[in-house]
Structure 1
Amino acid sequence: MARKDVFRKKVAVTILAWALGIAMFFPIFWTAVAAFKTESDAYTLPQNWLSTPWTLENFSIVQERSDYARYIVNTLVIAGLSTVLGLVFAVPAAWSMAFSPVAKPSISWSGKRWLGTIIGTAFLTGLFLYVVLGWDLTNNAAIGFICLIVVIVPAALWVFSRPTKDMLLWMLSTKMMPPAGALIPIYLIFNRNGLVFKDWGWIDLSDWNLMDSFWGMVPLMMLLNLPIIIWMLYTYFKEIPMEILEASRMDGASVWNELTRILLPMGVPGIVSTCLLNLILAWNEAFWTLNLTNKYAAPLSFFISEYSSPEGQFWAKLSAASIMAIAPIMVVGWFSQRQLVRGLTFGAVK
């Protein structure tokens, strides 16, 4: 009887998994079918998948109208360099949190006191500069930048005084904010009329900006995914026995040798899985790339948007462009799925 119950549960779970898988894959399937249809057949409802003729014309038209190779190179540069740059910052951060955790706050202030300090600093700084000195911050980038640093100092002290668990939660909370909430300040920073790119007197940056450049997109993609990278690496590093690191320290290993010769070789599976996930996230990013790129650093998401215009939706060509954009990362994900699944589930079961 018990075997029958186990078999029924296994069958039910299998059916549910297949149903969810088909439901998730169906939009991709629909897009792939529309890519091989003419525009008139792509608009037809219901779809006649087998009776209507198939064509490769959409892919050739997309290739003629857009430089697909340039877009895919831009995507590889942004996704690849942001992943490598993220590891440079995430590995030391995850190492310190995993093997040198902070058990309690270094400054024992209540949350209300911290909040009052942060808000009070911002208010008093603005009040002193505007009322007492009569300075207009909107026309002086140097003074505005200094005031921004003064206001950020209490918030930074709050973050770095937290225990490890609170700091990890704070890092992850940055991913909970809607991207549109930070679009305007980041756009101003990227633009030549923003906070940084002005004539500071001793250096003139008025003719230089980060808009539509790899210098802006690579650090931005790295910062967007850095919390996830740190969380995943922290989970991996926690699985490494502390006794191994203690033995290396007794043998005279420096911090650099501990990181490069012991921790990194043992954490290769976790690092590879983290790189794969970050590569997928950076590859599929559309919000920031559509708003901050236009031509020179435009990735595949911008390539897809070229086929959605006010004149109409060209479903067949848009579907062909979408398939061309997602095909490389789907191939990478297919061949690395075992490593990726292992990375996402590693540490879940002790």
Structure 2
Amino acid sequence: MNRFPYTFGIEEEYFLAHASDGSLIARIPDHFLSRARARLGDSVTLELLQSQIEIASPILSDMREAYDCVVDLRRGLCELLDEEGLRLVAASTHPLGAWREQFVTEKPRYDRLLGDFRIVGQRNLVCGMHVHVAVPPGIDRVRLMNRLMPWLPVFLALSASSPFWDQRVTGLMSYRQAIYDEWPRSGIPDFFDDERDYQSFVDRLQKAGAIRDASYLWWAIRPALRFPTLELRIADACTRVEDTVALAALFRCLVAMLVRDPDYGNHRTTHTRRLIDENRWRAKRDGVAATMLDEQTGDVVPMKAVIDQLFDLVGEDADELGCKESLRQLYRILDQGTSANAQLRIYNECRAGGASSDEALRHVVKWICETTAVAERSDRVERKLP
């Protein structure tokens, strides 16, 4: 019996848009952050650009609790934004967004980032979803991270929500990942030996003046600086709360499974790192329609088979941690598509009906806003069930 609780936390980043036409705001209203914190606490923070805002959950131990927490935080923000004539947009790019029109949040960290990264920082008009999962004492988080990395492209495929950039169809399901590829110290990390080796790399960059601390390593997964957790960072921002919670459940169960079975995932070759990146490209381009390269068998595997394998691997841990119901949403994502699929479907239907590209994009934003805010607490959902 697994006695460690594998507590977790969820962070979501959102865009703020005008209710009148769905366009992205350039500046956050004065005192909005203080009003949001008065209602929702310190879980609300600003991002690099003023058109974005972030929520961070408290420490969670139950998936229903997680669902209700995200619903409450989204709803609280939506109600406050409604008073300002604004809407909340949960997607990794804003279909109507224009990075050249954005204003930077005044904060020393952001000033340093723009001084260092220039136009790369200015173009960072993207939102993501991060999940922290606590790791038991005595478990080396970097060794655990190494064993988990081959699964990272799956999280991207299941969360893809950024098919538009600069008011254009990109042909990618997650253009956010293309934006992140411009940044140094991003993407799939290298295989460090252990936490000591990882810290040695951090120390080297700090000594050279390249970074201030390990939080300037923006990899797709990393050991958190301030918490005893592994932090998943590859996922796009999910428009549907159910998708957010399903991905958090999957990451939680994978961490638990790898701790339970310390031999799983230790084998790797000189090809492993590059195959993970190849799979990340496939997920970035095709979302849930992607096929994954299996290093062990040499096969090209459809996403459903990958999810089936994951369910087999984490079944015991899902039972123990109460994650089974949340994980079922993964099959719904495979069947219905991600937010990116829905956005493209709406856009294409509008264009086929005679709408201009701009009109079609506004319909997409309308759907994102409505879906971002539509979720209800689990107790209310249960009462609706037959």
| TM-score normalised by L of structure 2 | 0.26
Larger CA Rg, structure 1 vs 2: 1
Q: Kindly indicate which of the two structures has a greater share of residues assigned to strand.
A: 2
**Higher RCO, 1 or 2 (CA under 8 Å, sep at least 6)?**
1
Q: Kindly indicate which of the two structures has a greater share of residues assigned to helix.
A: 1
| TM-score normalised by L of structure 1 | 0.28
